[in-house]
Structure 1
Amino acid sequence: MTNFEFFNPTKIVFGTETIAKLDQLVPANARVMILLGGESARKNGTVAEVRAALGSREVHEFNGIEPNPTYETLMQAVEIIRAEKLDFLLAVGGGSVIDGTKFIAAAVPFAGEPWDILTTFGQTITSALPFGTVLTLPATGSEMNHGAVITQKATHTKLPFMNPLVFPQFSILDPSKTFTLPTRQIANGVVDAFVHTVEQYLTYPVNGMVQDRYAEGLLNILIEIGPKVLANPQDYDLRANLMWAATQALNGLIGAGVPQDWSTHMIGHELTALFDIDHARTLAIVLPANLVLRSESKREKLLQYADRVWHITAGTEEERIAAAINKTREFFEAMGIKTRLADYDLGAAVIDTVIAKLEAHGMTALGERQDVTLAMSRQILENSL
């Protein structure tokens, strides 16, 4: 495996009835902003639990962070926090709320134009407000990493950023808080975690035995429990394993010391920004076509994937690779997630627009070998029709 440095300072508090521990986790004199998405966390009582745990601390709320958090909305929160001189943030929600909170944490003390945080992919961040999270939707792993993705609604631009200063100080993971989630969101979460794992695993071998087996274990777990979590929404153990698998899929461990791809995500981001398709669903559209087109450069890992994840051992190498990719598509479809652009009423006419956005955002050499050119991205989209 290649050289690497691994650092993850986020404290995880996992299990039922753990929200009360906020009293120990948040400084006693903190002036807190709670960041929220929709109304689900309020309706299921989570916000009331959070407020009770925070006790006599000064607490403000900001509602309305979108499923794809927008710069415009987040900047409203930034201005309130600056005006009220708040000094601790608490994200209560899923990955979008946490991503938005990371941006807000960096933007409040930022001296220049905060959009520069995105255009420099986080390299210009020099300080950030401290924050924690109460996770209510397992999917993105944002609760235990230092990355986020933000959309500028005015320009249909969706960009990622990373910086060690935006690791959450802590994250509370209570699987029982996911019992009331809609089926669509749970299905999205399973697929999101699955593709996060694939992006760090299906590249080329570097003898990262620990990382490979760890990734394969996560994929096998998601395949096993994916349909079950949809069918048994009140099963605590299923929800607990999904929540922890989604966190592990993107907390840095399986990607340490191995090549990573992320081309599926970069192409998917453009589809979300342009056409407002759920993030996980764009991944399900792009990944199978991406793997088919690049099956030769990913041959060794695809054969390993076929064997260890899908238990496909019969047939020629080409047949096993094709079968593994088909199994991947079938898994997404079984989760209720369609895998073709046509399923979202999009045809060939949109491809030029997507490619133009990729070019404008500098996404001209993607993938673990930086060989996914714009021409190849075009072909991936054509194969996704």
Structure 2
Amino acid sequence: MLNFDYYNPTHIAFGKDSIAKLDTLIPQDACVMVLYGGSSAKKTGTLDEVKTALGSRKIHEFGGIEPNPSYETLMQAVEQVKKEKIDFLLAVGGGSVIDGTKFVAAAVPYEGEPWEILETDGKKIKKALPLGTVLTLPATGSEMNPNSVVTRKSIKAKRAFHNKIVFPLFSILDPTKVYTLPPRQIANGIVDSFVHITEQYLTYPVEGMVQDEFAEGLLRILINIGPKLLKDQKNYDLAANFMWTATLALNGLIGAGVPQDWATHMIGHEITAAFGVDHGRTLAIILPSLLQNQRQVKKDKLLQYAKNVWHIESGSEKERIDAVIAKTRSFFEEMGIPTHLSDYNIGKESIDMLIHELEAHGMTKLGEHNAITPDVSRAILIASL
């Protein structure tokens, strides 16, 4: 196992009716901005629940944060926070709203051009406004980590940053919020969580037995509950296990002390930035082709994955690896997510542009061995057609 330094200060309030706990989690004298996405927070009554729980606190709202939150929209929120002298941010939504809120929290006190936060992976952040979250869409794990991804539409760039200063102080996880989600969002969330786990698991063995067992268990849970949840999304136990698995998939625990990949995410980000394809769907497109391309490098973990997650034990090593990659693709398809670029009207003529963007953004040495060069990324994209 590799050395690691693990820190996670986020307080989790989990369960039905837990939004009421906002009253004890936010200072009574706080001036709060509630940030959210589209109209669903209002239609489902979640926004009203939040306002009721906030009681007599001074409240401002900022809606309209997009899926794949845009820098341009978030900078409007930054200006409003400064104007209204907001001192606490509350994200009500899924990963995009939470990611965007983290950026706003860091950008308000930032001295300089806020885009630098994203260009420097958050290294220049010195302080941030306190923030909390009310999770409505399990997927990204942003509710319990210090990561954020923001898109700048004007230059078609999607950048990530992380800094422990933007850990949420708390996150409220009420599984009943899954009940009203469109099936597309549930499917995206299951796949997003699944690939978060594989990015930290399907690398090479370092005797991280705890991390491996934890990752394998979470993967089996998603495989078990994913299709069931699409058919019965008001099942509280299924929703609760989905929500908690998505959080655990990227709160740092399974990635502590083991090598990590993240090439699937980096290539997927460029597809989203260029074509607007849902983040979870880009992961479903890239992962099977990446595993096929990297099958020799990842051989030991792929065989372990085949045995411990999919119960594939018969056949030669080649046959088992073929089978487990096929099983992975089939699972994504079972969740209703097409797994080829052509399914999204993206053809071979777009590959050069995507590689150019990867190079422009410095994504030239990806993967757990920094060996996925632009030529390798090209091969993965071509295989994804």
TM-score range, shorter chain: over 0.9
Match of 2:58 in 1: 58
Match of 1:122 in 2: 122
The answer on 1:45 being equivalent to 2:45 is yes
Give the residue type in structure 1 aligned to 2:75. Answer: M
Match of 1:299 in 2: 299
The offset of 1:245, in angstroms, is 0.2
Match of 1:368 in 2: 368
**Residues in 1 aligned to 2:319 and 2:364: alpha-carbon distance in whole angstroms:** 31
- Give per-residue Cα distances to partners, 1:266-311, cap 9 Å, x unaligned: 0000000000000000000000000000000000000000000110
Secondary structure of residue in 1 paired with 2:61: strand
Structure 2 counterparts to residues 94-243 of structure 1, below 5 A = 94-243=94-243
Match of 2:269 in 1: 269
Give ranges in structure 1 of 5+ residues lacking alignment: none
Match of 2:346 in 1: 346
**Residues in 2 aligned to 1:278 and 1:284: alpha-carbon distance in whole angstroms:** 10
Give the residue type in structure 2 aligned to 1:289. Answer: S
**Residues in 2 aligned to 1:159 and 1:34: alpha-carbon distance in whole angstroms:** 24
Secondary structure of residue in 2 paired with 1:176: helix
Give the residue type in structure 2 aligned to 1:86. Answer: I
Match of 1:31 in 2: 31
- Give per-residue Cα distances to partners, 1:40-82, cap 9 Å, x unaligned: 1111111101001111111000000000100000000000000
Q: Which runs of 4+ in 1 moved over 4 A?
A: none
Give ranges in structure 2 of 5+ residues lacking alignment: none
**Residues in 1 aligned to 2:215 and 2:315: alpha-carbon distance in whole angstroms:** 24
Q: Normalising to structure 2: TM-score of the pair? A: 1.00
Q: What percentage of residue pairs aligned between the two structures are identical?
A: 66
Give the residue type in structure 2 aligned to 1:123. Answer: K
The offset of 1:178, in angstroms, is 1.3
The offset of 1:233, in angstroms, is 1.4
- Give per-residue Cα distances to partners, 1:174-230, cap 9 Å, x unaligned: 000110100000000000000000000000000000000000000000000000000
Secondary structure of residue in 1 paired with 2:172: strand
**Residues in 2 aligned to 1:310 and 1:335: alpha-carbon distance in whole angstroms:** 16
Give the residue type in structure 1 aligned to 2:106. Answer: A
Q: Normalising to structure 1: TM-score of the pair? A: 1.00
- Give per-residue Cα distances to partners, 1:129-165, cap 9 Å, x unaligned: 0000000000000000000100000011001100000
Give the residue type in structure 2 aligned to 1:199. Answer: E
**Residues in 1 aligned to 2:68 and 2:3: alpha-carbon distance in whole angstroms:** 34
**Residues in 1 aligned to 2:332 and 2:19: alpha-carbon distance in whole angstroms:** 33
The two structures, once aligned, show a CA RMSD in angstroms of 0.4
Match of 2:91 in 1: 91
Give the residue type in structure 2 aligned to 1:287. Answer: L
Count of aligned pairs: 385
**Residues in 1 aligned to 2:49 and 2:281: alpha-carbon distance in whole angstroms:** 32
**Residues in 2 aligned to 1:3 and 1:295: alpha-carbon distance in whole angstroms:** 26
